[in-house]
Amino acid sequence: MDHDVDLGRLRAGRLARLQAAMRSHDVEVCLLFNEPNVRYATGASAMPIWSNTTFVRCALVPAEGRPILFEHGNSIHRSRLVVDDVRPMHAWEFIDGADAEADVWARETVAAIRELGATGDAVAVDRLGTPGYLALQRAGVTIVDSGAVTAAAREVKTPEEIRLLEVNGGIVTEMLAASEFALAPGVRERELLAVLSDTLLRRGGEFLATSTVCSGPNTNPWRAEATDRRIESGDLVFVDTDCVGVEGYFSCVSRTFLCGDAEPTVTQRETYGAAFAWLEAMKALVRPGITCGDLAADAPALPERYVPQRYECMIHGIGLEEESPSVCHPIDPQPNPDRVLQEGMALVVELYAGEVGGAQGVKLGDQVLVTADGSRVLAPYRFDTRLSGT
């Protein structure tokens, strides 16, 4: 897809933020396997879904200087288009003698760490398979968690990242419009899911992260997935667009629609109206300078009948994946009450409303950018006025 983002500036800006976070946390070098972290640090991506389930590529990032990308042999030519130093990774998976192969990988990794000017005594790692973990231990490397570093780097978005979130927001609105247009009695949930995926891929996105298109009784409880169920007139249908779009940026926007020409029931209107009112009130609280603890304390009250099946959080960060910060419901422990929202953060505000044992449920959510005077919705799409009454 064509866009007006300077990818060189995008990658340089992200690397600068990551290395600044490393220095502030006194980290010499990061060893990154998590695909979004590798992409954030280097700009390279190859077989992202497979790479997230295997250990075939990793990035060594020093606190100063250029990273080294260890890449799957058949993807080196692709990654060299965006990374200066790409080397073949010595993998240990899917072969006999994993420990011996992992020892080779560990020796090459330690040598590269020292080449970057780091001691290699302690390395910050995001995720690592057991053979690799044990091999680094045998090599005398102390492993620490890179989570605080990568979270700090990625929370506030660069101007180029914001532009990509806007580009992907446009794609998400098209996905929602296409799914709503295709919604009719007799259509299967999986057919609507295919509409979402088709629109995403045709517009330059990469893949759906979930398969959340649910109708009628499949909307309660939350966390169901698309089935071959035929949607009926009068059903509530919720669509969660969870998708990885252009340049790997994640989008998470939810809408619930009423299928067909049927009038909504009293329960449907009440549930949707409560969810819509909560979402609008929660979005209105988002602004720079407010803490996660204050957001939790000031959050609009979710009607008691929906609390037992509440969504796992009220707000979470978004970028190359679901990120920090997060805001939990007031009745749940808040792990980061002193975290302050900053201008340039991208957040998802969302909820699920459905009674235990209820016939149907409602999922609504918007993706917003924290701005100087509040927040701005990144993927504006209409709500179902038959259900909201607005």
Cite the beta strand spans of 18-85 per DSSP E. Answer: 29-32, 58-62, 68-71
**Cβ 50 vs Cβ 94: under 8 Å:** no
| Cα–Cα distance for residue pair 222/213, rounded to 1 Å | 11
| Cα–Cα distance for residue pair 279/326, rounded to 1 Å | 16
**Cβ 219 vs Cβ 254: under 8 Å:** no
Q: Residue 120 has what pLDDT?
A: 78
Residue 131 is encoded by which pair of tokens?
């053979």
Walk me through the domains of the chain, giving residue ranges and CATH numbers: 7-153 (3.40.350.10), 156-388 (3.90.230.10)
Q: Residue 296 has what pLDDT?
A: 97
* Residues composing the chain: 390
Q: Residue 23 has what pLDDT?
A: 97
Helix or strand holding residue 79 (H, E):
helix 76-79
| Cα–Cα distance for residue pair 129/152, rounded to 1 Å | 24
User: Could you tell me which residues come within 8 angstroms of residue 37 by beta carbon, excluding any fewer than 6 positions away?
Assistant: 30, 59, 126, 146, 150
Q: Give me the long-range contacts of 94-102 (CB less than 8 A, separation at least 24).
A: 98/131, 99/131, 99/134, 99/135, 101/131, 102/131, 102/132, 102/134, 102/135
Task: Quickly list DSSP for 304-329.
Answer: GGGGGG--S-SEEEESSSEEEEEE--
| Cα–Cα distance for residue pair 84/388, rounded to 1 Å | 53
| Cα–Cα distance for residue pair 86/79, rounded to 1 Å | 7
Residue 188's CB is within 10 A of a number of other CB atoms, namely 16
Whether this prediction's pTM lies above 0.85 is answered by yes
Q: Report the amino acid identity of residue 119.
A: T
Question: Distances in Å between the alpha carbon of 235 and those of 230, 256, 360, 371?
Answer: 10, 10, 8, 37
Q: Residue 272 has what pLDDT?
A: 98
Q: Residue 389 has what pLDDT?
A: 76
| Cα–Cα distance for residue pair 234/138, rounded to 1 Å | 62
CB neighbour class for 120 (10 Å; exposed up to 12, middle 13-18, buried from 19)? buried
Q: Residue 121 has what pLDDT?
A: 84
Question: Distances in Å between the alpha carbon of 322 and those of 110, 268, 386?
Answer: 31, 30, 31
| Cα–Cα distance for residue pair 109/269, rounded to 1 Å | 59
Integer distance in angstroms from the first to the last C-alpha of the chain? 36
Q: Residue 1 has what pLDDT?
A: 61
**Helix 130-138 × helix 98-115 angle, to 10°:** 60
Return per-residue pLDDT of the chain as tens, 390 residues: 678 999 999 999 999 999 999 999 999 999 999 999 999 999 999 999 888 889 999 999 999 999 999 999 999 999 999 999 999 999 999 888 899 999 999 999 999 999 999 987 899 999 999 999 999 999 999 999 999 999 999 999 999 999 999 999 999 999 999 999 999 999 999 999 999 999 999 999 999 999 999 999 999 999 999 999 999 999 999 999 999 999 999 999 999 999 999 999 999 999 999 999 999 999 999 999 999 999 999 999 999 999 999 999 999 999 999 999 999 999 999 999 999 999 999 999 999 999 999 999 999 999 999 999 999 999 999 999 999 877
Max distance between CA atoms of the chain, in angstroms, equals 69
Residue 10's CB is within 10 A of a number of other CB atoms, namely 18
Tokens 């959080």 locate to: 313
